[in-house]
Amino acid sequence: MKIDIAIINGNILVSQNGKFESIAGDILIKDDKIFEIILADEMAIEFVAKKTIDAKGKLSMPGLINTHTHSAMTAFRGYADDITLHAWLNEVIFPIEKKNVNVNLVTIGAKLAIIEMIKSGTTTFNDMYYFIDTIAEVAKQIGMRAMLSEGVLDFPTPNMKTSADSLKYTEELILKYKNDELIKIALGPHAPYTCSPELLKLTKKLADKYATQLNIHLAETKWELDLYLDKHKMTPTQYLDSLGMLDENVIAAHSIFLNESDIDLMAKRKTGVAHNPECNMKLASGVAPIPAMLNKGVKVGIGTDGVASNNNLNIFQEIRTAAFLHKLTSNDPTVLNANQLLKMATIDGAKLLNIDKQTGSIEKGKLADIIIIDMQQPHLVPLFNVSSQLVYSMDGSEVDTVVINGKLVMEKRQLLNINEKDVIAEMQELAKTITL
């Protein structure tokens, strides 16, 4: 039997009834898919592999899914820290983007972001930014899976003069990448307070027309909540629902200021939530009621947001933070357990992006999006519970090798399709030109 990649002599993270187990076995990859999983106690299969990876002492697990970020904002890492979200957005980010964001910045920023994500175990990211065709080209060059949405606002953006231009651009890209193996295009209305009701409806109409996802920031600050209560006598969530926006193809980033009725509404509409705990903590925006959402059956994935407000793209760190944050604020150490968090970072994230039939778990027939973790690290031994180890002890640097869509993109911490040192040098030079 001829295959492309064989991952042998290691352990595999599999999910059984919502719990994760580490089992000894080999993974055979052919073309872009997991061709066979051979457990240690099963009869061996004879095969010839173009590439064999000896995973002794290592764990293969599904690649992580970053359900909300702004990749090219790596260019602004550390530029606007220790201020409120409203000031951060209106006094720094919007002005600095207007002055500095162009194809060159987005190219370098996206390269750096994807390198950072791959090296910490992410194999798919859901992005909202500008010049997303450029981000798509970068992602394909490096071999990264991505869902990309052009930021749509009522006012001009760095890439588009009008919202109509943004929608036309998005539709063209949906058609361009319709059958792409790595790239999917979504809609990206920025937020209820930066998009008119008419514009919001147009974005939803376009998302529905092409059966794709829609990304939006929702209920992120107390300021936003007060604005909609005062102006519309509704919460931001209720306001979106009144426009027919809440639906199962919608991914609502943040969703901090939700009351019980809002959560019920999200569950009823099957709307997904991208939880960004570190960003929300850093900007003191608040704590999203994630345990309550999960109890009501709301789909929840994990995101980092952009590095201008986080300040990294590390999902392993994000799930650890989420665990501690919700245990503390709930005053309950059993809340948001390790299995739940691993699901949120993998298969539940895939559900948000509507790609869970293709990726998000290690199963025969699914796309081979796999990360191989070096478990022979001082902070990872002894191993009693694999879920706990991955959530509470990992920092992301243990990711040794990464396969995306059946192709090696990183081996022994070395990126194979891009020169990491060159990109770092490019960003350092670019940073000298950035001014507010």
Can you give the pLDDT at residue 379?
97
The CA-based diameter of the chain, rounded to the nearest angstrom, is 69
- 64-352 under CATH 3.20.20.140, yes or no: yes
Ranges for all domains in the chain classified under CATH 2.30.40.10: 2-62+366-414
**What is the Cα 13 distance to its own chain's centre?**
20
232-280 per-position pLDDT tens digit: 999 999 999 999 999 999 999 999 999 999 999 999 999 999 999 999 9
Name residue 15's beta-bridge partners. 20
**What is the pLDDT, as a whole number, of residue 44?**
78
Tens of pLDDT, residue by residue over 57-74, are 999 999 999 999 999 999
pLDDT digits (tens, 9 = 90+) for 350-398: 999 999 999 999 999 999 999 999 999 999 999 999 999 999 999 999 9
Q: Say whether 184 sits in a helix, a strand or coil.
A: strand
Look up tokens 């051979």; give the residue.
38
Position 41 scores a pLDDT of: 78
Distance CA 32, CA 142 (A): 16
Cα separation, 371 vs 408, whole angstroms: 10
Question: Inter-axis angle of helices 315-330 and 338-345, to 10 degrees?
Answer: 140
**Amino acid, res. 396:** G
Give the Cα separation of 23 and 345 in Å (integer).
20
Pairing of strands 48-54, 58-62: unpaired
Question: In sequence order, which ranges of 15-102 are alpha helices (DSSP H)?
Answer: 85-87, 94-100
Bridge partners of 408? 403
Q: Within 10 A of 17 (CB to CB), how many other CB atoms are there? A: 6
Q: What local confidence, expressed as pLDDT, does residue 86 receive?
A: 82
> What is the per-residue DSSP string for 381-419?
-S-S-HHHHHHHT--STTEEEEEETTEEEEETTEESSS-
Predicted confidence (pLDDT) per residue in 151-176, tens digit? 999 999 999 999 999 999 999 999 99
Domain with CATH 3.20.20.140 in the chain: 64-352
Residue 36's DSSP bridge partners are 28
> Quick one: DSSP state of residue 63?
P
| CA–CA gap between residue 167 and residue 364 (Å, rounded) | 38
Please give the pLDDT value at position 85: 81
Find, among 247, 340, 246, the residue nearest to 290 by Cα: 340
Per-residue tokens: 294 = 């999960």
pLDDT tens for each residue of 185-244:
999 999 999 999 999 999 999 999 999 999 999 999 999 999 999 999 999 999 999 999
Mean pLDDT of the chain: 96
- CA–CA dist 334, 40 (Å, integer): 33
Q: Which fold has domain 2-62+366-414?
A: Urease, subunit C; domain 1 (2.30.40)
pLDDT digits (tens, 9 = 90+) for 268-327: 999 999 999 999 999 999 999 999 999 999 999 999 999 999 999 999 999 999 999 999
